[in-house]
Chains A and B, each alone.
Chain A
Amino acid sequence: GESVGLHLPTLSVQEGDNSIINCAYSNSASDYFIWYKQESGKGPQFIIDIRSNMDKRQGQRVTVLLNKTVKHLSLQIAATQPGDSAVYFCADSPRAGGTSYGKLTFGQGTILTVHP
């Protein structure tokens, strides 16, 4: 079936650099996209979300970019800090209607390691 996937399973950066985590999705009916951060031994924590009627959304030090033409989602973290080290998941859910509505499909995750 269709699923959300990630290009890179691991990413290592230096403290202060900008990080970009990529995600490819295959479901053309996807309407809602979300990024989560999961630290070791903890549950996923919401970072930022975006709907398909937008191509960019900014939060505090984070930006999500959505390219619907190539079905690509990215999370940019500015001035990455050691506390940003975690696994980052993208997920999507389809438009209203159908049995999949409101059900998030998660990617496998990218491990981000930030070196001091």
Chain B
Amino acid sequence: NAGVTQTPKFQVLKTGQSMTLQCAQDMNHEYMSWYRQDPGMGLRLIHYSVGAGITDQGEVPNGYNVSRSTTEDFPLRLLSAAPSQTSVYFCASSYNIVQEKLFFGSGTQLSVL
């Protein structure tokens, strides 16, 4: 049981490039979400999903897209990377939205030059 798996662990992009951060969970969790963590800002919610085919915006969704075609996977897409998107990104899941106890992945450290 691997829990929440994120790839890659590190990534460097040039401004304007696009990429997808991968997230997969093997716990059959309904709820999945993406957070970014910046110094002094805490964890901020980017997008979340309450089940396959359902996604919604969080606190800081601009510049990011998500989709949820399966229960297991919840990729985060950066369409045109900007330096302001330099951050550490965490994927998290929980059994359902009511449980609220989130399980986090190990993070992706992204630098946009």
Chain A residues with a Cβ under 8 A of chain B: 32, 34, 36, 41-46, 49, 89, 91, 93, 101-104, 106-109
Contacts and interface: CB of A to CB of B under 8 A. Distances in A.
A46 B97 CA distance: 16
A103 B42 contact: no
A89 B104 CA distance: 13
Contacts of B90: 43-44
Contacts, number: 50
* Most-contacted residue by chain B among A93, A101, A103 (CB, 10 A): A103
Contact of A103 (B4, B45, B104): B45
Given A43-B90, A103-B48, A34 B104 contact: no
Q: What interface size band does chain B fall in?
A: 20 to 34
Contacts of B48: 103
B42 A89 contact: yes
Interface of B: 4, 31, 40-45, 48, 58, 90, 92, 97-98, 100-107
A32 B101 CA distance: 10
B43 A46 contact: no
A106 B43 contact: yes
A93 B100 contact: yes
Contacts of A46: 101-103
Contact of B101 (A34, A89, A107): A34
Contact of B31 (A44, A89, A102): A102
A109 B40 CA distance: 9
Given A101-B97, A102-B98, A103-B48, A45 B41 contact: no
Contacts of A44: 43, 90, 102, 104
* Most-contacted residue by chain B among A36, A44, A45, A106 (CB, 10 A): A44
A106 B42 contact: yes
Contacts of A49: 100-101
5 contacts: A44-B102, A49-B100, A103-B48, A106-B42, A108-B42
